Amino acid sequence: MAAMAPRAPRLTAVATAAAVIGVALSLACPASLHAATFSLNGVTFSDKLGGFVLERVSGQGSMDDPFVIVERMTNTAGGILEFRVDPAYGNKINSQHSIGFALIKVIENGTGFTWNAFELELQSKLGIPSDYADGLSFGQASTAGRPFTAKGFSQVTVLDEPYDRIDFEEGKIRAGGEVTLRFVITESLPLAVAYLAQRPINPLAESYPRPSGHSKNG
C-alpha cells in the first residue's frame, strides 16, 4: 500500500493565504484606528489623516505659553494635522481675530530623506487651500507672533494671498533630525474643523505639487 502524501504543504498554503489576508486587512484599516488625539483648553489636535505621528501636546496657546506639538513625520509627501477649536477658547495672542493661538511645532524627520525646505498650509476644507473668505489665517493683518521663526531653516516667508502658507527654506534637516517651527493660527469666524497641511521638501524633488488656490477678494 502506497504511503499517504504529507499534508504539510497544504497547511503551509493555508497559513500563507491567511497571512496575505491579514496583511490586506491591516492595509485596509483606516489611519483613524491608530490616531492620536490631544485636547487642551478647548483646542483638539489629531493625526487621524495620517502621514505623521502625533506624540504629545502641551501648553495653553498664549504667546508666553504656546501649544508645543511634538510629532514624527513618516511620509515623504507630508501629513495633515486636524484641529478643532471651541469658540469659547477665544483669542490668546491679542490679535483682532475672534480666535487666536500660538504654536511651536517640533517635527522629527522620520522619512529617511534629508529636507531642504518645509511648508505649512492652512485649509478650512480638506485638500483646498484656505482663502480670504473662510477667515482662517496665520494671523493675517496683525503682528502677533511675527516674525515667525524656525530652528533648522534660516529663511521664513509668510504668504497671506491668495492662500495661507508659510515657506521655511535655507536649511538641511537630515533623517533622524528635527526642526522647530514657531507661528500663530487665527480664525475670524469659528470653524467646526480646520487643517494644517505639512509638506517637507527634499533634494530628490525640489517641490511637491502645490494647489493653485483661489483669489482672496476683499
Does residue 212 belong to any structural domain of this protein? Answer: no
Return the pLDDT at 204: 64
Least confidently predicted of 32-36, 91-95, 202-206, 212-216:
212-216
Q: State the total domains in the chain.
A: 1
Q: What is the pLDDT of residue 33?
A: 58
128's grid cell: 483646498
**Lowest mean pLDDT segment, chosen from 48-52, 97-101, 104-108, 128-132:** 128-132
Q: Is residue 20 part of a domain?
A: no
Give a yes or no: residue 76 inside a domain.
yes
The Cα-based distances of 51 to 45, 159, 215 in angstroms read: 14, 24, 28
Residue 215 has pLDDT above 70, yes or no: no
76-126 per-position pLDDT tens digit:
999 999 999 999 999 999 999 999 999 999 999 999 999 999 999 999 999
Q: Please compute, for residue 186, the number of CA atoms within 13 A of its CA located in the half-sphere on the CB side.
A: 25
Give me 118's grid cell.
518645509
Q: Considering the domain boundaries, does residue 72 fall inside one?
A: yes
Between 8 and 158, whose confidence is greater?
A: 158
Instruction: Name the residue range of residue 167's domain.
Output: 29-201
Residue 29 reports pLDDT greater than 90: no
